[in-house]
Amino acid sequence: MGSVPLSLIVTLYILGALNFTFWNQAFSVFGGFNVSFYTFSAAIALLVVAGVVLFSAKYVIKPFLIFLIVAGAISSYYTDFFGVVIDKEMIRNAVVTTPQEASHLVTPTFVFHVLLYGVLPSLLVCWTKIRHRPLIGKLFANFVVISACLAVCVGLIISNYSGISSNIRQNREMMAKLTPFAPITSAIGLAVSTYREIGIVRAPLGTDARLGPVYARADKPIVTIIVAGETARAMNFSLNGYARETNPELKALDVVNYTKTTSCGTATAVSLPCMFSVYGRQSYSDRKARSTDTLMDVLRRAGIDGYWWDNNTGSKGIADLISFASLTKQKNSKFCTDGECQDDIFLGLLDAKLASITKNTVIVLHQLGSHGPTYYLRYPEEFRRFTPDCRTAQLSDCSREEIVNAYDNSILYTDHNLSEVIKLLKKHQGTVDGAMIYMSDHGESLGENGLFLHGAPYMFAPVEQTHVPFIAWFSDQYAQVMKLDVGCLRQYSDAPTSHDNLFHTVLGMMDVVTKVYRPELDVFAACRGAAPSGSPAS
């Protein structure tokens, strides 16, 4: 057959077989079978046909069609099974993930899906003998087809512009689910932005940073442990009113719990660097983060030792200039299997470090936390309290109750891990004045509205992915030295907080004096007898 008919057939296959989620949402958005829905559907089909025919040339068409089919099969799996929107940030997150994390998403069901919907149709394309016109004739035929498609597409949109445009504007996430065209566009956008970031030089921040007057009163080193959580959503913490007791150990330790904390993003690749940057969510961008020093750099300039211990996918550039250790590479540990470790891997190392500290220090523990879909791998057998729990990466094989049970078990284990960190600070209170602050990078969807996992575009991300836990604990000696009224903190624990606060709150916790410190963003400043000085950042 000719290349244009083949392009048309493949286009109809992709739109029909690989876009169930897109058409289901479009059907709902447009209110069923009506003129607007039919017009929109025809316009989309014509626009895609025009784009595919553009590549209808000898030696190009077959590889291009196969690429579209396979990419569509892969993206449709995650969109249809998990409700995932594969946008620019989701692709960025996938690029920086580890082979171990990625392997949990490559299940037998995934392989079968790609073979059936991707490989098999691709073989049919390979076996098809394409009848190509002479060059001039091909260019003319393609031009006619593309022009006709675009003209009819524009005409259809104009004929029902108000109905189509209003629905698209109010439901932008719908267009982000058009596979594989939306993911391909996002990948191109990421590639362009990454290229533009090549050669970025990190600008210094807080060059005036120094220790404030509080340390003159301290006879021991001040130590703050920052626990960067992973995929923990606040609504499954019993400290926040969840019906199940998922925080029994933290509850007994009388921590300060902030109930209304929102994340900067819905994926680690965005949220983590945003948490440790001076930029708030509204002004944050990946380029800004890469071109500006981080919280850990400002602390280093003030003479504070910094350590980043990672049980996840790295620091995303945050710890480039401080001591960094990836604990996932440890072997012969009872906490590690196949390149992944449970979070108690931190405890032995932390115990030894606290025993040897002689300077003011900040240690970041980057957890694996509740990262899915293999929630059941995030906790040991003794924390398998809520059963039956989902014991597979293929969430579609489990009931929602089993998925929630597995997730809640991972939260229960996080509760234990945080409690053990606090107990170690208590154990070493004779030699250090310690504090701990815990904040998760983002939340998780567990089947609400058909969504699973995380990474939804922030503009229409559900609260399950943006409402995160934020917990703090202070030793009595730390509170005394810093003149911190913990009872006062509890009075403000229901006030709105966010990732925007972490940068300035930690500077305040470590009594760092610098012009980039903004006391209004320091969650603890109002309850300190002597907040560190400094003018608001311009």
Give exposure, 40-69, as e/b (b: 16+ Cβ within 10 Å).
bbebbbbbbbbbbbebbeeeebbebbbebb
CB atoms within 10 A of CB 255: 22
User: Comparing C-alpha atoms, which of 298, 296, 276 is closest to residue 501?
Assistant: 276
Q: Tokens in use for 266?
A: 């819905």
Q: Provide the β-strand partners of residue 227.
A: 365, 438
Which pLDDT does position 87 carry in this prediction?
A: 81
> Which stretch of DSSP H or E encloses residue 362?
strand 361-366
pLDDT tens, residue order, the chain (538 aa): 888 899 999 999 999 999 999 999 899 888 888 888 899 999 999 999 999 999 988 889 999 999 999 999 999 998 988 888 888 778 887 777 777 777 788 889 999 999 999 999 999 999 999 988 888 888 888 899 999 999 999 999 888 887 787 777 767 778 888 999 989 998 898 888 777 777 778 899 999 999 998 877 788 999 999 999 999 999 999 999 999 999 999 999 989 999 999 999 999 999 999 999 999 999 999 889 989 999 999 999 999 999 999 999 899 999 999 999 999 877 778 898 877 899 999 999 999 999 999 999 999 999 999 999 999 999 999 999 999 999 999 998 999 999 999 999 999 999 999 999 999 999 999 999 999 999 999 999 999 988 999 998 898 899 999 999 999 999 999 999 999 999 999 999 999 999 999 999 999 999 999 999 999 999 999 999 744 444 333 2
- The pTM of this model reads 0.85
CATH 3.40.50.150 fits 213-527, yes or no: no
SS3 377: helix
Greatest alpha-carbon span in the chain: 86
Count the alpha carbons within 13 Å of 171 in the hemisphere toward its beta carbon. Answer: 20
Check if the beta carbon of residue 87 is closer than 8 Å to that of residue 182. yes
> How far apart (Å, rounded) are the C-alpha atoms in residues 495 and 487?
15
Check if the beta carbon of residue 190 is closer than 8 Å to that of residue 494. no
If you write DSSP's letter for every residue of 39-59 in order, what string do you get? Answer: HHHHHHHHHHHHHHHTT-STT
> How far apart (Å, rounded) are the C-alpha atoms in residues 191 and 185?
10
User: Comparing C-alpha atoms, which of 226, 247, 227, 228 is closest to residue 236?
Assistant: 247
CB atoms within 10 A of CB 399: 12
* Torsions phi, psi for 253 (to 5 deg): -95, 5
> How far apart (Å, rounded) are the C-alpha atoms in residues 437 and 114?
43
> How far apart (Å, rounded) are the C-alpha atoms in residues 464 and 483?
36
Plot region of 537 (φ>0 → left; ψ -120 to 50 → alpha; else → beta): beta
Domain map (residue ranges) of the chain: 3-196, 213-527
Q: Tokens in use for 375?
A: 């929630």
Pairing of strands 512-513, 210-211: antiparallel
> How far apart (Å, rounded) are the C-alpha atoms in residues 304 and 83?
44
Beta carbons within 8 Å of 488's beta carbon, 6+ residues apart: 526, 527
CB atoms within 10 A of CB 154: 13
